[in-house]
Structure 1
């Protein structure tokens, strides 16, 4: 039995402590965990500095930014926990009630899944977000992070478990896998009978490996090949502002835009203005410019590299933007259907009919009109924080909050009825 299997055994023994906990007990535990996170601030930041030092030169600058923690980011993590306390506990909610002619009362009641596993890459905030979301929704949880972030994750989990141990809930309901090799990931994928749900959160390679190899139920989360379509009826300044925000505010995250589609009638005016904003102005301000990957038509308006095969199917997670000029909204919808990941896509337009057609036809978890794709986020959607962005359709879609970490069961109440 490997270490991961031992942790899974511990979770099975401890899960009833959280599965059956009251809302008050869970909220008190979360408050104690938030306080412990801040109390351990120095140790967590020290661990993060060690992770940053080891990862420098091994991963890109934007990925280093994802790994980096400071006092402000740690305070945001603690605030996210406390925001979750204010949200309604979904466990125990009666979704619907019906009565049969024979007098039976049938209630559909929301319950915890049981034990949830999360495999994720180098984002320290996911350690905290995933742990508290699972616990608030009544689930025991096992976390398996990437090697680049392990020291940080370990320090965070030590703090969270210290807070949890001061509550009525067993701290064994929260576990972190110490083995960051592939074998531990595969142990979780094959933990049939131990895990009720496995959630991969990271790049396309990780997600695909879990989807293809897991023997336990999986929710596929967000490879974010997000698009913004700038329609012929778009407000130019509005479009520039939105594309700028969606690409440069934090290019490493899954809701950043990767492809900008531009209507051919607007391309002669919009693309030079976009180049000035994302290249010339950023250089003048000492910021990293955006590197364009252009189709043949777009390259006639601005400078950049010609797009290669696969560039319109990539999550760059960097200051890189693919650009394509198209003849119509219908062509944009067709492109998104062929190349998108069903995460988040937007249209910029002043034409209400075009906006309606786009939202009706684009089959993504989040579809925007005149707004940045960067809003696809549990916190922004009022969910407190999120377990990930589901790009599938069964059980959960879009930002996954508390409700998405529950299932339901039927409660049937009678007075001696028998079936004849």
Structure 2
């Protein structure tokens, strides 16, 4: 038995509600099961129940076993002082309030029909499932319900991405330009170097970017040096030597300490090498002195693409690493990479900034993300294979959120689609 199933049974009245009794054989009648609480505290607020004809108003707590009350230390938490009913699957111990009065308990296993549990087990343990529990029924779900849930999931995903943005705003005293730089650095680092780039960008501080962004050599040397790419001892490449000398000057000027650690190259395609990405990032700040303000003004996808059209510096036309000549070609930001920047940096920042200044964010943000190409990964491919074709980044982000936060964790009863299927079958 799982607590989320008990919560589902309680809030949807999926049990025999007539002739209910507490474990102390008191007559129980439910007038209102309460409002589900998704945060800390009791599971349901403002419930109304009759116990032996006496009306009680207060909160309801759900547990698999009564003893979970003590296992979760609710007896010391004042948030639980107003619990009027303890709903459990198995009553294995009596629970008391601080004043010594016993909390009435409803043992649900006496009243839940067997078919409810069978339907739930069938949903959760689908023997034919190779991807998600409800894959055999996924296409049967009402399109309107599915569309509403996907929109809610995308907003949920934006909220999750907002956590880092809000943390960075506090650390930078609401310097939106610096927050943008840190997030761009993280995403220019991709999955392999993202966290390393994030930490290095925070250590560096945006004030040094402001003071060097009028000189491409200075800015590129600052980024490459600070991010650990100018540590070779025997490299005779002239451009490398020039950058290393410039970085030595900048270290003294800004009082920078020697950095330890360096980014990974292994497992990356050459266009994603940190040398190339940092040079492109430098070019972006050379060409746009007020990048955050410019991005916040743009709501058309084509205009954002135009702004992001930058190349690595000319040295990298025939290099991917220092001292090793490669086939000549401009190292431009690809359309796919720009899409990732829009999905993971620009749109979340627009979402947070609009709320910060009190603007309506829905129309612009949802329109923009809906015009971006869908992501190409195993999760989206699996949904497409089910017959649920993904058409844009709004849907791909929503489905990634659905899979990673619900499907892969068997949280079917916290998913609108899973609840719909179980309600339909019961």
Structure-1-length-normalised TM-score: 0.26
Higher strand share: 1
Structure-2-length-normalised TM-score: 0.26
Higher Cα Rg, which structure: 2
Higher helix share: 2
